[in-house]
Amino acid sequence: MHGPSPDTLYPLAGYSRTLFLKNFITKPNIDVGDYSYYDDPDGGERFEEKNVLHHYDFLGDKLIIGKFCAIASGTRFIMNGANHAMSGFSTYPFNIFANGWEVGFDPKVWTDASRGDTVIGNDVWIGMDCMIMPGITIGDGAIIASNSVVTRDIAPYMIVGGNPAETIKQRFDNETVEKLTNIAWWDWPAHKISQNLDAIRGGDLDLLLKAAKREA
């Protein structure tokens, strides 16, 4: 038994609200890892359009989501295209309305202010109606409470919540976090993950370390 294929569109039989997200991604500036799912009662097929906002090719920023992430309904990723130029006296985007207002505008004002890619690690759980701001990195194993607005990077295995999101607690001690990050079970082949589910979803670090040392 190797679990479901990551190429399955709807991994929960009879429930089209939950989908393996990578299979619905068409844009080259969005990358989603195997088994990461999005759940939405209205359907998640239009994730790129409804949940990834202000994502324009000319800015070059990417949304990268790792493997085995659980993303709840209403989560929105705000990309760098949402930012207005702040180097002048006005932040109003005159140039986008053209008709002469675009004359003299230098697009570098936008591109130079880009905060870079938005990167979500592996095994991250994002609660309902969260907002992830541009250029944020969320570490492996982090948990984002519902209705949070993430405005700065989140370290691995942190639980955060609020607006702006603040640290609630670290899930495990520093030594355990380091070991979990190094083990990176999400990169194991599917059959090894299936064979070692008790170690992965359990709380016995020694058991997981032994599993990591065994041949794939």
- Cβ-contact 140, 157 below 8 angstroms: yes
Q: Which residues are catalytic?
A: 84
Please name the amino acid found at residue 22.
K
Instruction: Answer whether 151's CB lies under 8 Å from 134's CB.
Output: no
Instruction: Spell out where the chain has E strands.
Output: 18-20, 30-32, 37-39, 52-53, 63-65, 70-71, 76-78, 118-120, 125-126, 131-132, 137-138, 143-144, 149-150, 158-161, 166-170
- Alpha-carbon distances of 196 from 7, 11, 190, 204, rounded to whole Å: 22, 20, 10, 12
Cα angle: 32, vertex 33, 38; to 5 degrees? 65
Contact 80, 115 (CB under 8 A): yes
